[in-house]
């Protein structure tokens, strides 16, 4: 009878509980989506007005000896002679249709220019994320298992250096060593695996340090809990205990940081792409700011903001699957 009782199917009384959980999750998703849209609207508004404080793009597009009539004609052709609020409303009207306007410099739709540059940035960020996970997770586990020993101090020293060294300095140092002295890898360029190595490593250095340090700290807390001591008492080896029991319980803060680091990798690509002449959105952003290309600057800023918002939303929703306590509390 006890076996039958344990194996009995769910009763109809369990259905309201499942419906409540589904309703909580749906309300959470809708609330997070509303917050995300509000953040993107604020970002679009602030970027629209701030970028116009940088100066008049007509002064850059025309030669220094251009007449006032030529400036007024060009300003009218670009739509910059209209009231600022009218330009703002037109910009907001185009956002739901992904109509970000035309570039003042290239004369092409901004969405097409972004689409051309986006694959290079995604490739660089994905490679940097792969480097981060491959190095940071084993390093964090190793340091947690060797807590207080010399090897732990060595790993944490490397983490401290990674967090305190500016990425552009890391890039210059890697170029000096591997491109100038050893002639092993190219200093710039795009299209081959060799071109990707140095930028990906440069972009990943800070993220490796952050993830490894947090994973070590989280694992140390988990490994001192009662259920881990019970697993050890059953005769499980240290590595098996960490991989099967400790890593899952320590994954919640680590997943949060990894999600944030995805946004940081895309946003941090601006300096890295500049150092290595990588033809991505980061390099495009610098060019757009230098040229006072208002629509292009607005689009790149909105792209980076949307990346952070979407990643944070996905990380927040992933809590429900990693920790049932989060799911039931909503």
For 274-330, what is each residue's pLDDT tens digit? 899 999 999 999 999 989 999 999 999 999 888 888 888 787 777 666 555 555 455
Q: What is the pLDDT of residues 243-263, one digit of tens each?
A: 666 676 777 778 778 887 887
pLDDT for the residue 325: 52
Distance of CA 238 to the CA centre of its chain: 33
306 vs 14 pLDDT, higher one: 306
Indicate if the pLDDT at residue 13 is higher than 70: no
Q: What is the pLDDT of residues 127-172, one digit of tens each?
A: 999 999 999 989 988 888 888 889 889 989 998 898 888 888 999 9
- 1 pLDDT tier (thresholds 50, 70, 90): very low
Residue 109: strand pairing partners: 102
pLDDT for the residue 7: 45
pLDDT for the residue 233: 54
Q: Which among 25, 31, 50 has a CA at the least distance from the CA of 298?
A: 50
Q: C-alpha distances in angstroms, 53 versus 29, 117, 149, 164, 282?
A: 37, 26, 55, 33, 21
Share of the chain above pLDDT 90, in %: 39
- 242 pLDDT tier (thresholds 50, 70, 90): low
pLDDT for the residue 322: 57
User: In sequence order, what are the residues at sequence separation of 6 or more whose Cβ sits closer than 8 angstroms to the Cβ of residue 318?
Assistant: 255, 259
Residue with tokens 């292009």: 296
Contact 54, 296 (CB under 8 A): no
pLDDT for the residue 163: 87
- 84 pLDDT tier (thresholds 50, 70, 90): very high
What is the overall mean pLDDT for the chain? 83
Coil, strand or helix: which one is 166? coil
Q: Which two tokens stand for residue 255?
A: 């997943």
Q: What is the pLDDT of residues 188-228, one digit of tens each?
A: 889 899 999 999 999 999 999 999 999 888 888 877 766 66
Q: Please tell me the distance from the alpha carbon of residue 140 to that of residue 148, in angstroms, as a whole number.
A: 13
- Global pTM value: 0.82
pLDDT for the residue 231: 58
């Amino acid at each position: 009878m006890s076996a039958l009782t344990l194996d009995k199917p769910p009763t109809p009384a369990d259905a309201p509980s499942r419906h409540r959980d589904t309703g909580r999750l749906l309300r959470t998703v809708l609330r997070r989506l509303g917050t995300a849209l509000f953040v993107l609207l604020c970002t679009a508004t602030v970027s629209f007005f701030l970028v116009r404080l940088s100066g008049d793009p007509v002064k850059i597009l025309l030669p220094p000896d251009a007449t006032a009539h030529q400036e007024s004609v060009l300003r009218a052709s670009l739509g910059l002679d209209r009231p600022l609020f009218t330009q703002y409303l037109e910009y907001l009207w185009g956002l739901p249709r992904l109509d970000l306007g035309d570039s003042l410099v290239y004369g092409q739709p901004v969405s097409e220019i972004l689409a051309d540059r986006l694959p290079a940035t995604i490739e660089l960020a994905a490679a940097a994320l792969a480097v981060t996970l491959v190095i940071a997770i084993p390093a964090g586990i190793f340091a947690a298992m060797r807590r207080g020993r010399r090897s732990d101090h060595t790993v944490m020293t490397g983490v401290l250096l990674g967090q305190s060294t500016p990425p552009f300095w890391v890039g210059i140092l890697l170029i000096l060593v591997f491109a100038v002295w050893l002639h092993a890898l190219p200093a710039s360029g795009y299209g081959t695996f060799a071109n990707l190595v140095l930028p990906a490593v440069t972009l990943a250095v800070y993220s490796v340090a952050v993830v490894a340090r947090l994973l070590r700290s989280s694992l140390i807390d988990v490994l001192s809990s009662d259920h881990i001591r019970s697993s050890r008492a059953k005769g499980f080896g240290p590595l098996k205990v960490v991989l099967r029991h400790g890593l899952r319980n320590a994954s919640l803060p680590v997943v949060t940081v990894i999600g944030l680091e995805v946004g940081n990798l895309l946003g941090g690509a601006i300096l890295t792409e500049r150092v290595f002449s990588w033809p991505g959105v980061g390099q495009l952003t610098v060019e757009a700011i230098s040229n006072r290309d208002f629509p292009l600057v607005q689009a790149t800023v909105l792209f980076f903001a949307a990346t952070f918002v979407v990643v944070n939303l996905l990380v927040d929703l992933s809590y429900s699957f990693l920790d049932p306590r989060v799911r039931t509390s909503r």
